[in-house]
Chains A and B, each alone.
Chain A
Amino acid sequence: MTVMPAITYNFAYLDEQTKRMIRRAILKAIAIPGYQVPFASREMPMPYGWGTGGVQVTAAILGADDVLKVIDQGSDDTTNAVAIRGFFKATAGVATTTRTQEATVIQTRHRIPETALTAGQVLVYQVPIPEPLRFLEPRETETRKLHGLADYGLMHVKLYEDISRHGHIATTYAYPVAVAGRYVMDPSPIPKFDNPKMDDCPALQLFGAGREQRIYAIPPHTRVVSLDFEDHPFEVQRFDKPCALCGAQDVYLDEVILDDRGGRMFVCSDTDHCESRRADGHVGPLGAPPPGKGKP
């Protein structure tokens, strides 16, 4: 009887040459905060749009002693997050976690964890469209020129048109930011609620766009300003009610439909934050107290 050889991969899946190429792009990205560095994005064993850019950045930085957390819209337990965590567990043998504080590398799709990040942590964003000006100017040659000249008038016109049409800036996600006073950057489709967390963040923030072949970065403690106007200052979303499960007030909430008669509740989008609050005994209007602490 012949035994099928076990499939082995290079550490963290990518070959060393690819990692070096991505690493060189990451170094340039850190040196020029907010500038999109082109890189030779590889085909990954997942479709574009599922985080191939983030996965390649994570693969290039990951070491054997790292602890990896992956979130998808704040959640540790959705398909994308579970699959990517499993991918690196299998190909790099790294430890994984759902706790924000325990992670050294956090790959994220469309959220920044509610728990404040710390120095030494790396936040890797999955980015679909890295170019903030793309929907205003489709030509790459032109957007490059605009970045080169720091000509961001188009973006301000777009925000102004929001105001003239809606009375306020109606952009709610992928809200453009200026990094270190120079490059305007797309923070990936995070809710603008999360924009203030990028400013002066102690963690290193890396952005990977696989299909669009761009890597960019925000070094720790870098000034990140959401674009606005003096008479229409930048504002984040506000929620009328606290999280239905843990009662948190100052967090980003997801809507959950409860029945077909209009019943709904709003719960923390960051599942780890919600779980640790509930474990600490916080209970929201629809939440059950932790086991052993009385009847629901």
Chain B
Amino acid sequence: MSDISQAQASLARGFNDPARDSQTAFRALMYAMARPGVPRALEARLSPPAPLTPELAALALTVLDYETTVWLDPALAGEAAVVDFLRFHTSARLVTEPEAAQFALIADGSALPAFSRFAQGEPDYPDRSTTLLVAVSSFTDGPFQVEGPGLPAPVGFGATPLPADMTQRLAENRALFPLGIDLVLAAPGAILALPRSVRVREEA
């Protein structure tokens, strides 16, 4: 990539209409959080530099600003255009220690770091924990069964790629409740949330 094209990529546009576009993305995120495991449509009209996906970028522009700290996984942190895009559009402080981050952007779902590396919150302030925003390529109806606040009955969900020990990780995260991390998965055109309050089983 030449210097000029890299500069152009790093100046990829943010939201066309920040007030309305971020509201639309937030409502999708809010409903996703309120109905865990159920994919929620998110139309992200953004073309951020790879490997940042349009959905991940929309979530980042919706929640990040100069008051927040964000950790990037190696795939994102290694791409100068991604770092510039986030710096320019959000002014969020990039941190290298996952436990110092309020949000973590992860481009590669299969390389999800251990949840224990992130901030878990404190007993008096369980909200001081990291929210993980993770790009995946698609959602499926299984093999996981999720239940918890927000759901009248258990629902099935799945996403690829995810680590093989996902059920165990989510179980360990649930055991920490009310501490623990919150997870948002972003696939093309949809997002799905797994807040710390959910219980997840894997179907045999």
B54 at the interface (CB under 8 A from A): no
Task: Please give, as numbers and ranges, the residues of chain B lying within 8 Å of A10 by CB-CB distance.
Answer: 19
A168 at the interface (CB under 8 A from B): no
The B34-53 residues at the A interface (CB cut-off 8 A) are 34-35
Interface size class of B (residues with CB under 8 A): 35 or more
Is the CB–CB distance between B35 and A220 below 8 Å?
Answer: yes
Query: Which residues of B are at the interface with A, using a C-beta cutoff of 8 A?
Result: 18-20, 22-24, 26-27, 29-31, 33-35, 62-68, 102, 123-127, 131, 148-152, 177-178, 182, 195-197
Tell me how far the C-beta of B191 lies from the nearest C-beta in chain A, rounded to whole angstroms: 12
Task: Please give, as numbers and ranges, the residues of chain B lying within 8 Å of A154 by CB-CB distance.
Answer: none
Residue of B102, B131, B197 contacting most chain A CB atoms (<10 Å): B197
In the complex, the chain A residue whose C-beta lies closest to that of B22 is A16
Q: Quick one: which of B35, B64, B151, B182 contacts A31, CB cutoff 8 A?
A: B182
Is the CB–CB distance between A32 and B126 below 8 Å?
Answer: yes
Is the CB–CB distance between B152 and A221 below 8 Å?
Answer: yes
Q: Quick one: which of A63, A149, A221 contacts B151, CB cutoff 8 A?
A: A221
Once bound together, how far apart are the Cα atoms of A64 and B182, in whole Å?
Answer: 28
Once bound together, how far apart are the Cα atoms of A220 and B127, in whole Å?
Answer: 20
Interface of B, secondary structure class, is loop
Tell me how far the C-beta of A288 lies from the nearest C-beta in chain B, rounded to whole angstroms: 42
In the complex, the chain A residue whose C-beta lies closest to that of B122 is A148
Once bound together, how far apart are the Cα atoms of A163 and B140, in whole Å?
Answer: 53
Q: Quick one: which of A32, A62, A219, A222 contacts B178, CB cutoff 8 A?
A: A32
What are the 7 tightest A-B residue pairs by CB atom distance, in nearest-first order? A31-B195, A148-B123, A219-B150, A11-B19, A28-B127, A222-B149, A144-B124
A33 at the interface (CB under 8 A from B): yes
The A211-230 residues at the B interface (CB cut-off 8 A) are 218-223
**Given A35-B127, A37-B127: A24 and B68 interface contact (C-beta under 8 Å):** yes
Interface of A, secondary structure class, is mixed
Task: Please give, as numbers and ranges, the residues of chain B lying within 8 Å of A62 by CB-CB distance.
Answer: 23
Interface size class of A (residues with CB under 8 A): 35 or more
Task: Please give, as numbers and ranges, the residues of chain B lying within 8 Å of A295 by CB-CB distance.
Answer: none
A27 at the interface (CB under 8 A from B): yes
Is the CB–CB distance between A35 and B151 below 8 Å?
Answer: no
Task: Please give, as numbers and ranges, the residues of chain B lying within 8 Å of A183 by CB-CB distance.
Answer: 178
Q: Quick one: which of A24, A64, A147, A204 contacts B20, CB cutoff 8 A?
A: A64
Once bound together, how far apart are the Cα atoms of A12 and B26, in whole Å?
Answer: 14
A139 at the interface (CB under 8 A from B): no
Task: Please give, as numbers and ranges, the residues of chain B lying within 8 Å of A24 by CB-CB distance.
Answer: 63, 68, 102
Is the CB–CB distance between B33 and A31 below 8 Å?
Answer: yes
In the complex, the chain A residue whose C-beta lies closest to that of B124 is A144
In the complex, the chain A residue whose C-beta lies closest to that of B25 is A23
Tell me how far the C-beta of A287 lies from the nearest C-beta in chain B, rounded to whole angstroms: 37
